[in-house]
Structure 1
């Protein structure tokens, strides 16, 4: 039984949906990124103490990447469920699975207590995180997109996608305290605090989502085709929409590479060249706060001039800033480091990230929109996101001297995205109830 939908263009309800999706995406990114921060700083010693420093770091980043391997499966499973049975009920499941997995990581004994079972259980819980995230992002964006006024879809759907930055603010604040603890306390119980605190966001978001309705687009689709639950959206996206899936893979590189490079890899790389963790945490915090302004501005602009030009601009900035970022990082100057983060994240990355939800979802028709957008993004996450810290660490080398290879890696990813933008159709004026668009 599908819940009734609210009146179309009800701005009060649209903001309510946006707020609940923002909190859900904050929890998603908080859980995922708190793992990345711990993998860069703590996990090598807690879960891989028998490995050497460089090998232990690679091992910890390997478990970070594992979570991304489960994301496409989660995107396919939860996307199919959301397209057949509803956005709201699916989002309730992904929320609980994500939150519980993170809390359990915070309770997990280390290698010194249970030996090899510690990293094994860590990988299992990381896979559960990834599986949940695969369905959370797509659903939280689409429920906003399909509830917003048509001419402001980009603007409203951009706010949940700032969840990564609100999560980064929370993580930076929590770790600012955790990093002040003596190493013995940090490695025994201090690192657990950020994982256990996710329970607060979980409870608040669960309470808000309980009162949501299904979207007008979804309820209209159900009314038009009551037997839609028997359809197979997974098969159809690979048969009918495979070009759009490939497009999304290409579109993600210029967004995911710099994000995980600056928020995960840079924490361990910075330490190898003598930069204090506090400097990088402060730069990330400033960029995270500014992200709310840049997301709103870029998303509103995309509602006026289209998704493609804004997206291409962001990819071009990422390309241009690849080498200058490392030069500014190596300067050791706090001002230059902050400026580097602002240019790459707030100007380059945010121009892309702000309009991803609308751009991706608008490529697919209503009956397989959740499946297509979620699966496409999460398949891309394996190549463009999860492997970034691991690949960047391997390219830079044990002493970080091969950093130009990392910069070149980012530039190649930006070029791939610019080509994908060129091939993509413009979608910002599309009627969400009609057949999906395709590659030009």
Structure 2
């Protein structure tokens, strides 16, 4: 039986999908990383102030990881809905859930006001953030990939991660004047402001995403008449039956996100601790400048991936991060601001951005339309869950005084090994037409013919 052709792409939809992915990811990760900054600098003294200082920091960083534990659960649910009902519905839902949960964090009472109820409410809001993030990047990546021209998929999908970096940059810039407040004002009301400001971005993202069309590939998929070829009733069952190997590859590749969490949270906590004593605002500027550089390098790495392939670019990012993160942590240990800025920008803004730029295309192209969102969401969120708790493990490995940066550097490098191995075993999909992604039996002649047709 013939398969219905995909509807023609509406004019301007690839760019609009990229913009919707960018602004939604910016909000999601603005919200996510203001929490990270607060967990490193504020929450130990606001929600865990009755504990020993070292234990308070460990407990606060553990709440950062709680959202990553919730993300696989959200991925199973949101992946199923996205492959059944469409990418746009999930993109709107995740945007609103993240905006609401972040605003509520800014309204929470402190431990001195309500006792142990305060950290319980904090963890609950953090879980809601995790569920939201579980579907955000997978739905945005699927949307942009399926709207994009076949020969520019890596470039268009990279806007999802450009939005992520923009969100981290915005979170850092908002937190800079807040962190400069006198400690009494910071701990009483100042830390709440960044969480309340998320409402503005939520409104802007909602307006854009509500007007976005569903993708041509998903529309074609839902129009298939045959019961055997129609929308998967249980995408998870099909994913685990037919695409389990690629799901495992995505899980392994996603461990590279540990570089981001350790850079953003643990390194900030270590640098500003008594063991090193670097200035809080200066270290926030390291993250701000690294993310600013990443806004320029991510589209360049994605442009390269559309020409030389997804695997080589991803491997540069994963293997290079294992080396340069060690250099960055060493630079912090010396207390040298020039070295810390240089290696921080190089490690996170340039090299790690290679993996960041290409993974939405690299992972998404492993799966066919019917299970793409499920495959990306479940695979990435299980890997990201490990990345989230990498901060907690790093705090443990750093020793009782929190100054064993060498152990943390080795731990970070070890987490980059599975992504390298998984990427080496993956198929290169740069030349595969969008409608043939996830298929196993396409001949070289069929692939070449499809690419020529798609790029005319």
Length-normalised TM-score, structure 2:
0.91
Q: Indicate conservation of the 8 Å contact 1:9/1:149, yes or no.
A: no
Q: Over aligned residues, Cα RMSD in angstroms? A: 1.6
1:303 aligned partner:
306
The one of 316, 330, 333 equivalent to 1:313 is 316
SS of the residue 2:434 aligns to = coil
Q: Indicate conservation of the 8 Å contact 2:65/2:385, yes or no.
A: yes
- Once the two structures are superposed, residues 180-216 of structure 1 have per-residue CA deviations (whole angstroms, 9 ceiling, x without a partner) of 2121111111110010100001000001111111001
- Once the two structures are superposed, residues 103-147 of structure 1 have per-residue CA deviations (whole angstroms, 9 ceiling, x without a partner) of 111111111111111111111111111111101110011111110
Matches within 5 A, 1:201-216: 201-216=201-216
Matches within 5 A, 1:144-155: 144-155=144-155
Unpaired runs of at least 5, structure 2: 1-5, 441-456
CA distance in 2 between partners of 1:260 and 1:29 (Å): 12
2:192 aligned partner:
192
Which has the larger displacement, 393-402 or 184-193?
393-402
SS of the residue 1:401 aligns to = coil
Q: Indicate conservation of the 8 Å contact 1:27/1:198, yes or no.
A: yes
CA distance in 2 between partners of 1:325 and 1:49 (Å): 30
CA distance in 1 between partners of 2:361 and 2:352 (Å): 16
SS of the residue 1:416 aligns to = helix
CA distance in 1 between partners of 2:208 and 2:437 (Å): 32
CA distance in 2 between partners of 1:208 and 1:78 (Å): 20
Unpaired runs of at least 5, structure 1: none
CA distance in 2 between partners of 1:8 and 1:416 (Å): 37
Are 1:403 and 2:405 an aligned pair?
A: yes
Length-normalised TM-score, structure 1:
0.95
The one of 377, 380, 386 equivalent to 1:377 is 380
CA distance in 2 between partners of 1:437 and 1:134 (Å): 26
Q: Indicate conservation of the 8 Å contact 1:267/1:280, yes or no.
A: yes
2:268 aligned partner:
267
Q: Indicate conservation of the 8 Å contact 1:6/1:13, yes or no.
A: no
CA distance in 1 between partners of 2:404 and 2:177 (Å): 32
The one of 385, 388, 398 equivalent to 1:386 is 388
1:248 aligned partner:
250
Matches within 5 A, 1:327-366: 327-366=330-369
Which has the larger displacement, 229-238 or 283-292?
229-238
Which has the larger displacement, 17-26 or 330-339?
330-339
CA distance in 1 between partners of 2:439 and 2:180 (Å): 52
CA distance in 1 between partners of 2:346 and 2:340 (Å): 10
SS of the residue 1:31 aligns to = helix
CA separation of 1:180/1:360 partners in 2, compared to 1, >3 Å: closer, same or farther?
same
CA distance in 2 between partners of 1:335 and 1:46 (Å): 32
- Once the two structures are superposed, residues 295-323 of structure 1 have per-residue CA deviations (whole angstroms, 9 ceiling, x without a partner) of 01110110011101111111221122233
1:22 aligned partner:
22
Q: Indicate conservation of the 8 Å contact 1:252/1:417, yes or no.
A: yes
State the Cα distance separating 1:230 from its structure 2 match.
5.9
Are 1:71 and 2:71 an aligned pair?
A: yes
Matches within 5 A, 1:132-143: 132-143=132-143
Q: Indicate conservation of the 8 Å contact 1:329/1:340, yes or no.
A: no
- Once the two structures are superposed, residues 325-370 of structure 1 have per-residue CA deviations (whole angstroms, 9 ceiling, x without a partner) of 2222223222211111122112321000000100111011100101
CA distance in 1 between partners of 2:264 and 2:99 (Å): 21
CA distance in 2 between partners of 1:14 and 1:25 (Å): 16
1:183 aligned partner:
183
The one of 283, 292, 300 equivalent to 2:286 is 283
Which has the larger displacement, 425-434 or 121-130?
425-434
The one of 422, 427, 438 equivalent to 2:424 is 422
SS of the residue 1:433 aligns to = helix
Matches within 5 A, 1:28-177: 28-177=28-177
Q: Indicate conservation of the 8 Å contact 1:316/1:348, yes or no.
A: no
